[in-house]
Amino acid sequence: MARASRDVPPVGDSALALRTASLQPGMSRTLGDPDDDLLVYVAAGAGLLSVGGNSEPVQARSAGLVLAGEDALVQATDPLEVVLMTVGAGVDHHAPIGQRALTASLDDAEAQQASGARSFQILFDASNGSTRATLFAGFVPPGRAPWHYHLYDEIVWVPDGPGRVHVGEAVEELGPGSAFRLRPREVHIVENTSADRELTIIGLFTPAGSPSAAYLTPEVAAEYRFAR
């Protein structure tokens, strides 16, 4: 079930894990794994991401992609806070539908509609090189959606809050830096407890696809039919 914490450690039957790291100006960190893809989301600060002979700047609200087998380096030019999300090899790959990108930014991504008044922006998916997983930002208006589930395996990181995640009878508070895991078909609600501003979530799920693919429980679906 979901468990709000600072990191999301690996589990045996999931290809996803999440951890955070801080770098002071002038510091660097090597990245890359022979088997795992790595998605790097910049929570704060600025720096440089290098893969092979290519280097691109990164800053808050941007992300980078390091594919399995690539050697990478992230360097901090300002105090840098990054969220490191790994995707193991044992997942279905989406067919590539675009050229591989090294970095992407929410400042450039197009907003798309999810369920209700919710929206999302894609940072990485099969259209720019991430064939194992999709990395996106979701924007949740004040309130809560109906109970629903996804067919994909997902980890979520929360930049600010306040919010709550409901899974069955369990309710977990979400504040700045909270993270949690949602398993396939795990019925849940992500609630925005603010009265006047959106809740942003950064989600990574596999297999790659659309964040808008949500399914209602039979009880909720029946209520929707009745309301019509």
Residue 6, in any domain of the structure? no
Residue 84, in any domain of the structure? yes
Closest CA to 163 of 143, 180, 145: 143
Residue 3, in any domain of the structure? no
- H/E stretch holding 224: helix 218-227
Residue 2, in any domain of the structure? no
Domain harbouring 217, CATH code: 2.60.120.10
State the total domains in the chain.
Answer: 1
Residue 35, in any domain of the structure? yes
Residue 80, in any domain of the structure? yes
Residue 82, in any domain of the structure? yes
Q: What does the DSSP 8-state code read for residue 120?
A: E
Containing structural domain, residue 70: 16-88+104-227
Residue 93, in any domain of the structure? no
Burial class (CB in 10 A: 0-12, 13-18, 19+), 162: middle
Tens of pLDDT along the chain (228 residues) come to 566 777 999 998 999 999 999 999 999 999 999 999 999 999 999 999 999 989 999 999 999 999 999 999 999 999 999 999 999 998 999 999 999 999 999 999 988 977 667 899 999 999 999 999 999 999 999 998 889 999 999 999 999 989 999 998 999 999 999 999 999 999 999 999 999 999 999 999 999 999 988 888 787 776 655 444
